[in-house]
Amino acid sequence: MKTEIGIIGAGPAGLFLAHLLGRAGIEAVILESRTREEVEGTIRAGVLEQWVVDLMRDLGLAARLDQNADFHTGITLQWNGERLHLDMRELTGGKQVTVYPQHEVLRDLIAGLLAAGGDIRFGVGETALHEITGERPFITFRPDKTGPETRLDCAYIVGADGYHGPSRQAIPEAARREFHKIYPFGWLGILARAPRSWHELIYANQAEGFALLSTRSPDVQRLYLQCDPADDLALWPDRRIWDELQARLSAPGFTLIEGPIFQKGIIPLRSFVCETMHYGRLFLAGDAAHIVPPTGAKGLNLAVADVVVLAAALIARVQHNDGEKLARYSETALRRVWKGERFSWYMTTMLHRNPTEGEFERRIHFADLDFVRTSRAAATALAENYVGLPFDR
């Protein structure tokens, strides 16, 4: 097989990239190890930055989003008996918070790509990268995991295969530098069949720890609470989850409505960056190159930002023989990535109860929140990051 751009991974990064390239008339093939049903059924992120929504509209993929997404003007922060509503729309000149789950975005992207004649191979096995420093890189894989080894020749390879994929490992250790930070807490996330308790997201830092109220639809709610990342789900029967959420989200005039929990999972929180995102003819995008803790809702948005930069660079190279943007891809993308890392770290440290920190740090986090409450500049800085920073052209 032969294509222009070989993409590994059909997550947000790989799929948006294929759309952007396809729109410019550049051929790409996506190799994905999971089945379409698995990709479309995995519950992950929920918040889209304004420009991602605009991009979906631009690509003609927003019909279901416009019908089903929740559009919020702001978010609520809650700590130490205080409650602050941040009006993002007013602070950012009209941008808003869109709640539309990642798996719905993926359904829209996959359906749109297949309808446009795009090539996605689901369920492949043993994906391996070859000759990435040469002129003719290629990927080998087994269709349906067990089929005969197949070779995909391409001009460039994009590793959009998440944190555990093989692409980053294809860069020699001596050629990359990795930055890791592990937080001493995780998130227990649930989906519950219940009506909405509040019209917007609530991020709470209470004595018992962090909690987040989000939504999925008028009758399905998404909630998270800080837990020990090593906890077994068996330690968290439904009653304990609701009791903790009630304690952490409680506020005058607010009632948390409970309902049957039908999905539960625990994720660890970590920050990770791989410098470089480019080696030979291999380019990394999304979680393959960087992870953020979810508190700022940045993971998916950063993945899409990478491929917006990368698509423009690949188009310039392939169609206009101009390789300058491609040579600077890693540097350009990492500038935005580090700002996303900073914001996610800031929101995470400010809003969690850190078992390894003392009362001094806790007061500092309350002071940080009080600064956001009392300073328009601080509130605007938070809002600008939350709805999505402008691209640095």
Catalytic residue among 19, 72, 290, 365: 72
Cα separation values, 260 from 216, 217, 220, 221, Å? 15, 15, 10, 10
Q: Which does 298 bind (CB under 5 to 8 A by kind): ligand DHB, ligand FAD, none?
A: ligand FAD
Work out whether 201 is an interface residue with ligand DHB (CB under 6 A): yes
Q: Which does 206 bind (CB under 5 to 8 A by kind): ligand DHB, ligand FAD, none?
A: none
Helices (H), the chain: 12-23, 36-41, 50-58, 63-68, 88-91, 102-115, 238-249, 299-320, 324-327, 329-351, 359-374, 376-387
* DSSP type of residue 254: B
* Closest residue by Cα to residue 141 from 171, 121, 117: 121
On the CB side of 17, how many CA atoms lie within 13 Å of its CA?
37
> What is the spatial distance between Cα 302 and Cα 54, in angstroms, rounded to a whole number?
15
> What is the spatial distance between Cα 40 and Cα 29, in angstroms, rounded to a whole number?
19
Work out whether 98 is an interface residue with ligand DHB (CB under 6 A): no
Q: Which does 295 bind (CB under 5 to 8 A by kind): ligand FAD, ligand DHB, none?
A: ligand DHB
Q: Which does 49 bind (CB under 5 to 8 A by kind): ligand FAD, ligand DHB, none?
A: none
Spatial contact of 283 and 277, defined as CB atoms under 8 Å apart = yes
Name which of 8 and 53 has its Cβ closer to ligand FAD: 8
Which span (79-87, 128-136, 258-266, 289-297) binds ligand DHB, by CB under 6 A? 289-297
Catalytic residue among 100, 293, 294, 352: 294
Name which of 21 and 212 has its Cβ closer to ligand DHB: 212
Work out whether 214 is an interface residue with ligand DHB (CB under 6 A): yes
Identify the three-state secondary structure at position 199. coil
- Which residues 283-322 are close enough to bind ligand FAD by CB under 6 A? 286-287, 294, 297-300, 303
Work out whether 46 is an interface residue with ligand DHB (CB under 6 A): yes
Work out whether 34 is an interface residue with ligand FAD (CB under 6 A): yes
Spatial contact of 128 and 141, defined as CB atoms under 8 Å apart = yes
Spatial contact of 225 and 209, defined as CB atoms under 8 Å apart = yes
The answer to whether 224 is a known catalytic residue is no
Identify the three-state secondary structure at position 2. strand
Q: Which does 205 bind (CB under 5 to 8 A by kind): ligand FAD, ligand DHB, none?
A: none
Residues that bind ligand DHB (CB under 6 A): 45-47, 99, 201, 212, 214, 222, 294-295, 297
Residues that bind ligand FAD (CB under 6 A): 8-14, 31-34, 39, 44-46, 102, 124, 127, 160-162, 165-166, 267, 286-287, 294, 297-300, 303
